[in-house]
Amino acid sequence: DVTEVGMQVITTSTTGRPTVQIARGRQASPTSNFTYTDILSAKLTIDSGEYDARNSDTAPTIDTTNDTLNTGDVLRFDVDSAGTGTKGLNVTIQCRLP
């Protein structure tokens, strides 16, 4: 299960908030395409001029109905907003066995 997420940038945004959604991809069978489900009900964001999401005005929220990762799952990181001048992106995910 995903228990914690975080995000940092290398160069801060001068305007706008970098915003990222994490989606879990899963196949129904080896020959089927991946179906993606958002893991976060409130996305990761970093306030303008800051480096880390932990100080954001909006804390990320893990959707506990979609937080399970299985062997073979893939993760997709959707950058919904980059902000102005932002460079580099680190995303951390903490998991534990259910």
DSSP type of residue 58: S
Of 49, 56, 73, the residue nearest 5 (C-alpha):
56
**Res 39: pLDDT:** 97
Q: Which two tokens stand for residue 69?
A: 């990762």
Alpha-carbon distances of 14 from 21, 46, 63, 86, rounded to whole Å: 21, 11, 30, 8
Residues 57-89 pLDDT 10s: 889 999 999 999 999 999 999 999 999 999 999
**Mean pLDDT, rounded, for 32-55:** 95
All residues at 6 or more sequence positions from 65 whose CB lies less than 8 Å from its CB, including other chains: none
Band of residue 98 on the pLDDT scale cut at 50, 70, 90: confident
- Inform me whether the pLDDT recorded for 9 exceeds 90: yes
